[in-house]
């Protein structure tokens, strides 16, 4: 007889068919979120340097597909090579640790929102406007609470990255940033740029959800064979479109976070 059938608690026993526990799933999601944050950090780093107007490299002259000569500013790869040349490869990850903390908190909040959406689908008709308004209101509340918790870490990360411009070393790790900001600016320093950031996120959330709902309800015909597939991508496409409208809020928030902080 297989000893595992006698005592399933024996050391080394693994039930391959047993579902993953909620703790295991949550841990995997958090690790995945942290990994994605780390991989994409150089992109956001370069974007911030462009936002604050840092132009360490001269523009280049090129031509369009129609033969017209234009002057191009350096792209991501040129910026990244310049950062590596100055700070080494690890320099691409300046300000990453506060972003990891912020990402972890945001992932937990998104998990709660997802649970709320699943419960809402059981309670109400899937495409009702009332359901969309209720879900969006709850999601907005969670998003605002999440921003209250994560914005201080966003400010720390932005300031760490912006130091590349003037070659300062005032802000480094999470704890040193907290002490430095609290000593010099008090609690208000942790929430510089908070209002435009929240306004941008709330505007993005409502526009994206409402536009996706109206398109799925009135523009996509149920008789179309690919209707369900189109509806599954509507919110994603609307997110890209609406982000153009809300980007100025993010830009203002980042500029406010680094203004007069040196």
- Indicate whether 220 belongs to any domain: yes
In a domain, 51, yes or no: no
* 5: pLDDT strictly greater than 60: no
What CA–CA distance (Å, rounded) separates 168 from 183?
Answer: 18
User: What pLDDT digit, counting tens, does each position of 86-144 carry?
Assistant: 999 999 999 999 999 998 888 887 777 777 666 665 555 555 888 888 888 988 988 89
Give the pLDDT mean for 4-23. 50
Q: Within a domain: residue 252?
A: yes
Q: Which residues pair with 63 in a beta bridge?
A: 69
Residue 66 in any domain: the answer is: no
Assigned domain for 32 exists? no
pLDDT digits (tens, 9 = 90+) for 187-206: 998 999 999 999 999 999 99
Residue 202 lies in a domain: yes
Per DSSP, 179 falls in state H
Residue 111 forms part of a structural domain: yes
Long-range contacts of 162-169 (CB under 8 A, 24+ apart): 162/48, 162/49, 162/52, 162/258, 162/261, 163/94, 163/262, 164/49, 164/54, 164/83, 164/86, 164/87, 164/91, 164/94, 165/49, 165/52, 165/54, 166/262, 168/262
Output the domain CATH number for residue 237: 1.50.40.10
Query: pLDDT value at position 223?
Result: 67
Give the 3-state secondary structure of residue 239. helix
Please report whether residue 171 resides in a domain: yes
Q: Provide the pLDDT confidence category of residue 221 given band limits of 50, 70 and 90.
A: low
Structure tokens given for 128: 């009702």
Over the Cα atoms of the chain, what is R_g?
23
pLDDT in tens, 54-88: 888 888 888 877 888 888 888 899 999 999 999 99
Summarised one tens digit per residue, pLDDT across range 31-60 is 888 899 999 999 999 999 999 988 888 888
Alpha carbons 69 and 19: distance in angstroms, whole number: 60
Label residue 225 by pLDDT band (50, 70, 90). Answer: low
Using alpha carbons, list the distances in angstroms from residue 235 to 60, 112, 122, 170.
38, 19, 20, 41
Let me know if 2 is exposed, middle or buried by CB neighbors in 10 A (0-12, 13-18, 19+): exposed
Q: How many independent structural domains does the chain possess? A: 1
- Looking at the predicted structure, is the pLDDT value of residue 2 above 60? no
Mean pLDDT of the chain: 83
Domain membership of residue 215 as a residue range: 94-258
């Amino acid at each position: 007889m297989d000893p595992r059938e006698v005592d399933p608690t024996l050391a080394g026993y693994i039930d391959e068919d047993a579902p993953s526990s909620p703790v295991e799933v949550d841990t995997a999601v958090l690790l995945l979120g942290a990994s994605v944050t780390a991989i994409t950090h150089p992109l956001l780093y370069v974007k911030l340097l462009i936002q604050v107007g840092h132009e360490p490299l001269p523009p280049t002259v090129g031509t369009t597909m129609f033969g017209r000569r234009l002057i191009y500013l350096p792209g991501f790869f040129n910026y990244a090579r310049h950062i590596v040349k100055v700070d080494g490869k690890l320099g691409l990850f300046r300000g990453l640790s506060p972003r990891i903390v912020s990402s972890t908190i945001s992932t937990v909040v998104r998990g709660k929102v997802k649970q709320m959406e699943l419960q809402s689908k059981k309670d109400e008709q899937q495409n009702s406007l009332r359901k969309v308004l209720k879900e969006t209101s709850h999601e907005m509340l969670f998003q605002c609470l999440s921003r209250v918790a994560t914005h201080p870490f966003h400010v720390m990360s932005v300031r760490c990255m912006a130091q590349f411009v003037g070659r300062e070393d005032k802000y480094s790790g999470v704890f040193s940033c907290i002490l430095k900001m609290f000593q010099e600016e008090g609690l208000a320093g942790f929430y510089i740029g908070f209002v435009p950031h929240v306004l941008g996120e709330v505007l993005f959330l409502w526009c994206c959800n409402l536009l996706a709902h109206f398109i799925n309800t009135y523009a996509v015909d149920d008789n179309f064979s690919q209707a369900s597939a189109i509806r599954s991508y509507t919110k994603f496409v609307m997110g890209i479109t609406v982000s153009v409208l809300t980007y100025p809020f993010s830009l203002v928030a980042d500029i406010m976070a680094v203004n007069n902080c040196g």
